[in-house]
Amino acid sequence: MKAVCLDFGTYYPEGLDVSTLKASAPEFIFHDHSDPSQIIERLNGASIVLSNKVVISKEVIAACPDLTLIVAGATGYNHIDVAAARDAGITVCNVRGYSTPCVTQHVFALILGLRTRVIDYHEDVKTGKWQESRDFCFLDYPIHELAGQTLGVIGYGDLGRSVEAVAKAFGMNVLIADHKGLDDIRDGRTRFEDVIARSDIITLHCPLTAETTDLITAKELAAMKESAELINTARGGIVNEADLAQALRDGDIAGAGVDVLSKEPPSDGNPLLDPAIPNLIVTPHTAWASREACQRLFDQVADVIKGYRNGSPMNVVS
């Protein structure tokens, strides 16, 4: 049974223990990166493929008849044509929960970066503005506390719950959004539109699907408080990026922190990469990638493969 990892290098694997993963299949081949033109050749004769972000399309599936298991080396699996895999009798699994502590930490790094303006103050110290200040402190940017503020959580899986727990430790109030457009609201949830309107900070933790694409557009941004901030560590396509850029320029909302873009890397540019946009922090899809999280991911992938080979697949998405 041959297994192939198509983009091992995306995990920054140096120093991580992958012995359990290598032992999960009799033959395991690792490629740091794979161009689209290399995928089919590299999967020739493979029964198992592990892909973090390399696209496993309908065409790839059709050209690789030996495939029986596709493992998304992440929680999101929108890079895999799940319908085509299902039609071909191929099991698709993902990994879950491995990055919850790391993403939660990153969410609050973005929130605190916006609320404390720590990046702006750091840059001003580097350029000598504090040294030139008349007073002992240098207060050019407003600082705001989290205590008593309302956090709106959109997407209430493991990540949403973890973020909720930390928010409450900061003394925040938390609203959990129900699905957009619903009026029959579940216990413990709040109408989506009310979360948009009432929250001081909104954080996104839902997968990218047909239903969540452009979940946040100019309409939702206009309905937010002018003092509110938006955090996206989920997927870039959930937010209309041109609308968000314009909302920040116009002052419709106070700030945003994003770790994901609709195209990564943004080789053709992106509306959110304009350095003139105020109060925007962009990080390069690093929220998931602590060393500890990557180790948990590899260990879980090994379990997924071993479970599949033993007839008890786990984390099956199709």
**Active-site amino acid positions:** 235, 264, 285
Q: First vs last Cα of the chain: how many Å apart?
A: 21
Tell me whether residue 145 is exposed, middle or buried, using C-beta atoms within 10 angstroms of its C-beta: 0 to 12, 13 to 18, 19 or more. Answer: exposed
Q: Which uninterrupted H or E stretch holds 85?
A: helix 82-87
Distance, in Å, from the CA atom of 261 to the CA atom of 281, rounded to the nearest integer, reads 12
Amino acid at 177: A
Specify burial of residue 31 (Cβ count, 10 A radius: 0-12, 13-18, 19+).
middle
What strand order describes the sheet that includes 201-204?
A: 173-176, 150-154, 201-204, 229-232, 255-258, 280-282
Angle (CA) 170 172 174, round 5°: 130
CA atoms of 50 and 66, how far apart (whole Å): 14
Listed residue (109, 204, 113) closest to 166, CA to CA? 109
Q: Report the C-alpha gap between 53 and 193 in whole angstroms.
A: 32
Strand 150-154 to 201-204 pairing? parallel
| Alpha-carbon gap, residue 232 to 270, rounded angstroms | 15
